[in-house]
């Protein structure tokens, strides 16, 4: 199912737009939000150099009817607010496409993540237009269920490797021990974990804001595939005491040759 990130430039008027522009160094993370008829309720995590000044501006804003500080820390506060103009929530409600939380807003720009059919995303864009919200689509990608990325066998092996400490630093188990634990050959274990790592890493890289170009990613993946086997062998040699002992042992002296 498509997942889109929209950068919404909020107009002047809503409290979050005005206050975030007055304090461009501050960050507003909407943790939860609930729209109501003519109002909206939200729990917000505020980070700023001068939290008190930001809170004062929030309390003075006409669009905020209530501001309650739930928790405070150095440069951070968790605030419950009630607003009379929740534009983003109204647009989401009208389009039938909920905005994913948390929602980050800085300097009047909101990063809006949504997941749904193309028609729903288009409908959200239309609602933004109706409300006078300028936006641009930062990215659109297919969202994949993490469970569906790996086969049942791959998941079983990965969980076993994690449980045994194969990915700890330093490692608490060797590739051989992982293979013995799940009852497969060491070579099969190595190949399967390489495939798992490649799948998981590529999915993670796809979520990065500045991921490599596709051609570069393919080249890196091919190079990694060629060297993974050697890396696994090196890692096992470092963590397997038997292998270390064999590697450190001095070669047996050659038998002397006698000439008659």
223 is in which domain, residue-wise?
A: 146-248
Contact (CB, 8 A) for 62 and 83 = no
Choice between 54 and 119, residue whose per-residue pLDDT is larger: 54
Q: Tell whether 113 and 159 lie within a shared domain.
A: no
Q: Give the mean pLDDT of 149-165.
A: 89
* Structural domain total, the chain: 2
Asked if the model's pLDDT at residue 252 lies above 50, the reply is no
Is residue 28 one of the residues assigned to a domain?
A: yes
Is residue 258 one of the residues assigned to a domain?
A: no
Q: Tell whether 117 and 204 lie within a shared domain.
A: no
Is residue 207 one of the residues assigned to a domain?
A: yes
Is residue 256 one of the residues assigned to a domain?
A: no
Residue 92 pLDDT class (50, 70, 90 cuts): confident
Q: Tell whether 136 and 156 lie within a shared domain.
A: no
Choice between 254 and 134, residue whose per-residue pLDDT is larger: 134
Q: Tell whether 128 and 184 lie within a shared domain.
A: no
Q: Tell whether 242 and 204 lie within a shared domain.
A: yes
Report pLDDT for 20: 97
Q: Tell whether 34 and 112 lie within a shared domain.
A: yes
Is residue 41 one of the residues assigned to a domain?
A: yes
Asked if the model's pLDDT at residue 74 lies above 80, the reply is yes
Q: Give the mean pLDDT of 2-25.
A: 92
Asked if the model's pLDDT at residue 47 lies above 90, the reply is yes
Of 100, 115, 142, which marks where a domain is finished?
A: 142
- Give the closest residue to 95 by CA, choosing from 6, 170, 219: 6
Is residue 253 one of the residues assigned to a domain?
A: no
Asked if the model's pLDDT at residue 75 lies above 70, the reply is yes
Percent of the chain exceeding pLDDT 90 equals 44
Asked if the model's pLDDT at residue 196 lies above 70, the reply is yes
Q: Tell whether 166 and 138 lie within a shared domain.
A: no
Structure tokens at 102: 């948390």
Asked if the model's pLDDT at residue 45 lies above 70, the reply is yes
Of 142, 167, 202, which marks where a domain is finished?
A: 142
Percent of the chain exceeding pLDDT 70 equals 73
Is residue 197 one of the residues assigned to a domain?
A: yes
Q: Tell whether 112 and 21 lie within a shared domain.
A: yes
Highest mean pLDDT among 10-24, 32-46, 79-93: 10-24
Q: Tell whether 9 and 138 lie within a shared domain.
A: yes
Of 108, 142, 176, which marks where a domain is finished?
A: 142
36 three-state secondary structure: strand
Neighbours of 15 (CB within 10 A): 22
Q: Provide the b/e sequence for 232-241 (b: ≥16 CB within 10 Å).
A: beeebeebbe
Q: Tell whether 14 and 79 lie within a shared domain.
A: yes
Asked if the model's pLDDT at residue 11 lies above 60, the reply is yes
Alpha carbons 44 and 32: distance in angstroms, whole number: 7
Residue 138 pLDDT class (50, 70, 90 cuts): confident
Q: Tell whether 80 and 198 lie within a shared domain.
A: no
Q: Tell whether 187 and 116 lie within a shared domain.
A: no
φ/ψ (deg, to 5) at 139: -165, 155
Is residue 10 one of the residues assigned to a domain?
A: yes
Alpha carbons 96 and 46: distance in angstroms, whole number: 28
Alpha carbons 1 and 20: distance in angstroms, whole number: 32
């Amino acid at each position: 199912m498509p997942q889109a990130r929209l950068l919404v430039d909020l107009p002047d008027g809503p409290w979050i737009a005005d206050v975030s522009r007055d304090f461009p160094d501050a960050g507003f993370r909407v943790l939860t939000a609930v729209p109501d008829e003519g109002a909206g309720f939200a729990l917000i995590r505020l980070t700023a150099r001068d939290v008190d000044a930001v809170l004062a501006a929030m309390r003075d804003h006409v669009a905020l009817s209530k501001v309650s500080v739930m928790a405070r820390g150095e440069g951070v506060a968790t605030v419950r607010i009630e607003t009379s103009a929740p534009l983003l929530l109204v647009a989401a409600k009208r389009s039938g496409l909920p905005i994913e939380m948390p929602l980050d807003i800085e300097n009047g720009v909101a990063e809006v993540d949504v997941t749904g059919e193309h028609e729903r995303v288009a409908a959200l864009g239309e609602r933004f237009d109706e409300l006078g919200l300028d936006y641009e689509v930062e990215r659109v990608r297919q969202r994949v269920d993490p469970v569906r990325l790996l086969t049942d066998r791959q998941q079983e092996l990965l969980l076993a490797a994690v449980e045994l400490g194969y990915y700890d630093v330093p490692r608490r188990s060797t590739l051989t021990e992982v293979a013995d634990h799940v009852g497969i050959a060491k070579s099969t274990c190595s190949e399967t974990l390489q495939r798992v790592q490649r799948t998981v890493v590529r999915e993670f890289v796809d979520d990065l804001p500045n991921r490599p170009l596709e051609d570069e990613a393919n080249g890196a993946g091919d190079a990694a595939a060629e060297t993974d086997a050697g890396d696994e062998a090196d890692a096992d040699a470092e963590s397997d005491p038997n292998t270390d002992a064999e590697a450190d042992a001095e070669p047996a002296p050659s038998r002397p040759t006698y000439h008659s």
